[in-house]
Amino acid sequence: MSDYGVLLQQVVNGLSLGAMYALLALGFTLVYGILELINFAHFNVFMVSSFVGMWALEFLGISGQSHVLTGLALAGTLAFAFAVTMIAAGVLGVAIERLSLRPLRGVRGTAAMITTIGVSYILFNVILLTVGAGSENYPNPLPVVRWQLGEVTLELKELLIWGVAVALMVALHFFVSRTRLGKAMRATAQDAEAARMMGVDVDRVIVTAFFLGSALAGAAALIFGLYYNYTSFIIGYTAGLRAFTAAVLGGIGSIPGAMVGGLLIGLIETLGGQLIAVRWTDVIIFSILVLVLVFVPTGLLGRSAPTKS
């Protein structure tokens, strides 16, 4: 393959990864937009959900790549797996909000954020202690189908990722722009007090944001497992860092920002890994995070970030 072909392949890979990061970043940014809270636990909800997805698929009898399904069976299996994973993730997110964040609603400062660090730790270690530190082979019913387009290889699973990601993003967009509750969410994010005066139940809006955000993380988690064919207790940290940076880069609190940021970070990861070295990608991404927060805190598409008055 020519150099050009390699790069193009990495672009394709980057877009697939980016779609997954975008979903994860979206969930994160939904909560931030309303509460201005950096929820560390979000990324380990992602990690836990990937295990839930794995168990859901195993429940259907699929383990490893031994069972390959097609057509209706495949669609049904995937639908089941996504449904279970997303709902479980959503419930977990809501539980976290109820138990550990609601009591801290009025407290100013970083207390709530610190609590999410603690919750994140708990999730991380529960998995580590129960499932162990090894990588789990992810059950994958997808047939391995490849298409060759010039120098680039496209796999079925990549189409799946794009399909699911686009579908979810469209659904989210539809939700926030056309449904009553969705608009209430946007209104609350822009002016919670005024929204309350319109009769909006702000508590309900917050719970909805957590549910939806976590469900998106759940979808991203299942995608991760199907794409990489593995999962482990550490993926919350690695994918989380990238999704977090994506949200910040795109403009924290902005929904289109999370989508754009996700794609950019996916591309940066694959191209960076190709052009520089894989072991430096973490540093590159952390550096982007720091640089954006220090110099352009609003990100690419976001509104003004809070600084000292």
Partner 1 sequence: MLEFSGVDTHYGDLHVLKSVDYRIAAGEIVCLLGGNASGKSTTMKAIMGSVVPSRGDILYEGRSLKGVSIAERVRRGIAPVLEARRLFPRMTVYENLEMGAYTQRRGPEFAEDLARVFTLFPRVEERLRQIAGTLSGGEQQMVAIARALMARPKLLCMDEPSMGLSPAYVEQVFDIIQTINRQGTTIFMVEQNANMALAIADRAYVLQTGQIILSGPAAELRENEMIRHAYLGELKVD
Partner 2 sequence: MAELEKPLIRIAAPLFARISPRLRARLGIVLVTTAALLFPLVNQNDADIDSAANALAFAALALGLNIVVGFAGLLDLGYAAFFAIGAYAYGVASSWQLQPQWSGFWEPFQWLDFVTRFHTAGADVVHFQVSFWLMLPVAAAIAAFFGVLFGAPTLRLKGDYLAIVTLGFGEIVPIVARNTPSVTNGAMGLNGVAAPQLFGYNFGVDATPYYYVGVALVAFLILISQRLKDSRIGRAWMAIREDEIAAAAMGVDRVRFKLLAFAIGAAFAGATGTFYVAKLQTATPEMFMFPVSVMVLVMIVFGGIGSVWGVVVGALVLQILQSWFLEDLSQWLHALGRLVNIDWLQRVELASSIELIFGLILVLMMLYRREGLIPASRPVPALTVNEQTAQAVRGGFSGLPDLGAVDHDAQGPLLDITDLTVRFGGLVALRSVELSVPAHAVVAVIGPNGSGKSTLFNAVTGFLPAHRGNIRFVGEEIGRLPPHAVLERGIARTFQNIRLFPNLTVAENVMIGMHARLDIGPLGALLRLPKTRREEAASRERALEILSLFGNRLLPRVDHLAASLSYANRRRTEIARALASQPKLLLLDEPTAGMNPAETLELADQIKSLNRFGLTILLIEHKLDVVVSLADKVVVLDHGEKIAEGTPDAVRRDEAVIGAYLGRSAAFARV
Positions touching partner 1 (CB under 8 A) are 180, 183-184, 186-187, 190-191, 193-201, 303
Among 66, 70, 110, 190, binds partner 2 (CB under 8 A): 110
Tell me if 4 contacts partner 2 by CB under 8 A: no
Tell me if 145 contacts partner 2 by CB under 8 A: no
Residue whose CB is less far from partner 2, 105 or 146: 105
What distance in Å separates the CA atoms of residue 185 and residue 253, rounded to the nearest whole number?
12
The least CB distance from residue 70 to partner 2, in Å, is 41
Residues 222-261 that bind partner 2 (CB under 8 A): 237, 248
The least CB distance from residue 47 to partner 2, in Å, is 14
x-or-dash string of contact with partner 2, 84-103, rule CB under 8 A: ----------------x--x
Tell me if 148 contacts partner 2 by CB under 8 A: no
Residue bearing tokens 């009553």: 180
Cβ pair 85, 221 in contact under 8 A:
yes
What distance in Å separates the CA atoms of residue 68 and residue 61, rounded to the nearest whole number?
11
What distance in Å separates the CA atoms of residue 128 and residue 91, rounded to the nearest whole number?
21
Give 106's DSSP letter.
Answer: T
Tell me if 132 contacts partner 2 by CB under 8 A: no
Q: Between β-strands 146-149 and 136-137, what pairing exists: parallel, antiparallel or unpaired?
A: unpaired
CA-to-CA dists, residue 135 to 85, 197, 219, angstroms: 19, 50, 20
Angle, CA 268 vertex, CA 266 and CA 272 arms, to 5°: 125
Residue whose CB is less far from partner 2, 41 or 259: 41
- Region near partner 2 per CB under 8 A, out of 105-113, 134-142, 164-172, 186-194: 105-113
Q: Between β-strands 230-231 and 136-137, what pairing exists: parallel, antiparallel or unpaired?
A: antiparallel
Tell me if 68 contacts partner 2 by CB under 8 A: no
3-state secondary structure of 148: strand
Q: How many residues bind partner 2 (CB under 8 A)?
A: 41
Amino acid, single-letter form, for residue 110: T
Cβ pair 230, 135 in contact under 8 A:
yes
Among 1, 68, 73, 126, binds partner 2 (CB under 8 A): 126
For partner 2, the binding residues (CB under 8 A) are 37-38, 100, 103-104, 107, 109-111, 113-115, 117-122, 124-126, 128-129, 237, 248, 279-280, 282-283, 286-287, 289-290, 293-294, 297, 305-309
